Every structure is written in structure tokens, then in C-alpha cells.
Structure 1
Amino acid sequence: MSLRNSVDVSASALRAQSLRMRVIAENLANQQSVSNTPGGDPYRRRVVTFEPILDGGVKSSDAPQQGVRVRGISTDKSAFQRVYQPGHPAADAQGYIMMPNVNSAIETADMRSAQRSYEANVNAIETARAMTMRTIDLLK
């Protein structure tokens, strides 16, 4: 694998982790978003899934030959929490509202994981760049 390929791999991971951090931020921003209608469903947590890019034989200059890409963004099917708030406009006949299935502790842990992965890939790109510059200096 050339240094250029290693930068492409890390760049694909940066794009994927950047999207993951954006989705986590959306989850955190909507952790109190309830339905507008009585008995309706609130915001549902979203999760990013990745898949590897392996030498697939596609020789497009736009697509990396190895790395990672986002497979999709799916919704978490876990149950909503019911909270008793009879005066709330979204309360059902029994006075309960459904709260989003977003847990701030889980989202924070996921954000830290994504951030560390992002930083590791930035370091990999910086190392590859430094190695390339050192090689150029040696060839002078």
C-alpha cells in the first residue's frame, strides 16, 4: 500500500466519522423532542452503520479502493420512555407522553469514540505526509 492509498483510507474514515458525529449531535439535540399530537411518536434515535471498502476492482479516480464508507443511517427500534405529564399538549388520554429513546450517556460515549477515531485518522494522515516530505528531502 502506497502512502497515497493510506491517506485515502484515512480520508474515507474521516468522512464516515464526521457523519457519525453529526448524527450523534442531532440525537442529542432532539432528546427532548416529543410529538406534536397526543399519543404520537417522538423523535427516534438514529444510528450510523459502516461497511468496509475492499479492492473491488472499480478503478474510479473519485472512489477510494480501500477504506470505509457509511452503509446507512437507521433508526433505533428500542422502546420510548413514557413520562406522566397530564398538562402537556402531546399527552395521551391517561396523561402520558412518549419521550425519545435517546440516552445522553450512550450518545456521549459514542461521540467520544467517533472523536478518537477521527483524531487517529488525522494523525495517520499527518504521519503519511511527514513520511512523504522526509522521502522527498532524502531524494534531493
Structure 2
Amino acid sequence: MSFLSSLNISASGMTAQRLRLDVVSENIANIETTRTEVGTPYRRKLIKLEAKDDFRTAMERAESAGNTGGVRATQILEDETDLKSVYNPTHPDANEEGYVMMPNVDLVQETADAMAATRAYEANVTAFNTVKAMAQKALEIGK
């Protein structure tokens, strides 16, 4: 596997984790949104990540010095768990009994997801920098 494909793999991981953090940020921003453009409460969004290659395919491509592995986002899905019902008769979106349907966003879950995405991003940066340092050391051999 060439060092450039290693950089591409790390870059794909950084891109995926940045998108994951964008989705978490959107969820947190809409934690109180009771009415979207379609008139329903906001639903938590989830990102679906997929490996670009399985291990066997990656090994076969590595032998031919092709681009290997990495990750890609395939979908951004809506979480279909139940919405929260909160009693607030003064809210403009309250029903006749005084209940408002609130988004299914949990701040604790979103914070944990943001932390996990940040740590995964940092791990990819570390791998990227390690490959870069290896390439620099290899260039110093010729001096």
C-alpha cells in the first residue's frame, strides 16, 4: 500500500467524522423545534457510514498499489423513535389537551456522539500525521 492511499484513508475518516459532527450539531440546534417545514416536530438525524472496501478487497488492491479502504457516508436517516410529549398548554403547537410533541433529541446522547466523533477525527489526524512523518523521514534518507 502506498503512503498516498494511507493518507486518502485517513482523509476519508476525517471527512466522515466531520459530517457526523455536523449532524450532531444540527440535532442539538433543533432540540426545541416543534414545527418543521412539513409541520411536524424535528426528528433526530443519524448518519450511516460504510466501509469503502472489505479487508480482502483492500488487500488485493494493496498488492496492485491501488487506492484502498476508507469510509464513506451513505445516508443521513431520521430516527424513528417516539417523539416526546410535554405538557405546555401555552405553547402555540399544543394540542387541545395542552400537550406539545417535542423532538426525539436527547442532549446527553448527542454530547456523547459529538465526543466520539471528535475522538475518531483526532485518531485519523494522528494516523495522517504519522504517515506524513514517515514520508519525511524517507526523504531524509537521500540526504
Which residue of structure 2 lines up, in the alignment, with residue 77 of structure 1? 80
Which residue of structure 2 lines up, in the alignment, with residue 60 of structure 1? none
Residue-by-residue CA offset, 1:31-55 (whole Å, 9 max, x unaligned) = 011127xxx5311000001001115
- In the TM superposition, residue 2 of structure 1 has moved relative to its aligned partner by 1.7
Count matched residues. 133
Residue-by-residue CA offset, 1:2-50 (whole Å, 9 max, x unaligned) = 21111100000111110000000000010011127xxx53110000010
Residue-by-residue CA offset, 1:35-92 (whole Å, 9 max, x unaligned) = 27xxx531100000100111589xxxxxx54200001100000001100111111001
What aligned pairs does 1:35-74 form with structure 2 within 5 A after superposition?
35=35, 41-54=40-53, 55=57, 65-74=68-77
Tell me the distance in 2 between the aligned counterparts of 1:137 and 1:5. 21
Which residue of structure 1 lines up, in the alignment, with residue 6 of structure 2? 6
Give 2:142's aligned amino acid: L
Which residue of structure 2 lines up, in the alignment, with residue 129 of structure 1? 132
Which residue of structure 2 lines up, in the alignment, with residue 105 of structure 1? 108
- SS of corresponding position for 1:89: coil
Give 1:78's aligned amino acid: T
State the superposition RMSD in angstroms.
Answer: 1.9
Which residue of structure 2 lines up, in the alignment, with residue 23 of structure 1? 23
Tell me the distance in 2 between the aligned counterparts of 1:43 and 1:139. 59
What aligned pairs does 1:84-103 form with structure 2 within 5 A after superposition?
84-103=87-106
Tell me the distance in 2 between the aligned counterparts of 1:127 and 1:14. 15
Tell me the distance in 1 between the aligned counterparts of 2:35 and 2:86. 13
Q: TM-score, normalised by structure 1?
A: 0.89
Question: Stretches of 4+ moved more than 3 A in 1?
Answer: none
Which residue of structure 1 lines up, in the alignment, with residue 32 of structure 2? 32
Tell me the distance in 1 between the aligned counterparts of 2:134 and 2:142. 12
Tell me the distance in 2 between the aligned counterparts of 1:33 and 1:110. 20
Which residue of structure 1 lines up, in the alignment, with residue 141 of structure 2? 138
Structure 1, unmatched stretches of 5+, are 58-63
Query: Which has the larger share of helix?
Result: 2
Q: TM-score, normalised by structure 2?
A: 0.87
% identical equivalent positions = 42
